[in-house]
Amino acid sequence: MADQQQPMYRAYTLVEREHEKPFWLNIGVAFNHKDAKGFNLILQALPLTGKLVLRQYEEQPGGGAEDTTSKPKRKASQPAEQP
């Protein structure tokens, strides 16, 4: 891609879990059109429910990106997530 844009939104699907809050699964990004009248949506997976949630993507000091949503907390008995 010649035009390197930063993602404007992250695309999530909510995975329901028994007796816990839903897990926000990051499945893609969305970019604003130059005329600001639409989006290009790039998905790495399709949600089984057909529902997408777009959340604003924010650049943090130091060059890292931060979601506006929080990751679910794991229980002490659960292993840490692997990247």
45 falls within a domain: yes
- Taking the CB of residue 12, how many other CB atoms lie within 10 A of it? 21
> Is residue 78 situated within a structural domain?
no
Output the pLDDT for position 9: 95
Tokens 């909510």 belong to residue: 14
Q: Distance (Å, rounded) from C-alpha 37 to C-alpha 21?
A: 34
Specify if 71 maps to a domain: no
* Tokens 């907390």 belong to residue: 73
Domain of residue 39: give its range: 1-24+34-59
The answer to whether position 29 is within a domain reads no
- Assess if residue 75 is contained within a domain: no
Closest CA to 26 of 73, 78, 71: 71
Q: Would residue 41 count as lying in a domain? A: yes
Residue 36: per-residue pLDDT = 85
Residue 53: which pLDDT band, with cuts at 50, 70 and 90?
Answer: very high
Residue 7 inside a domain? The answer is yes
Residue 18 has pLDDT above 50, yes or no: yes
Total number of domains constituting the chain: 1
- Residue 39 falls inside a structural domain: yes
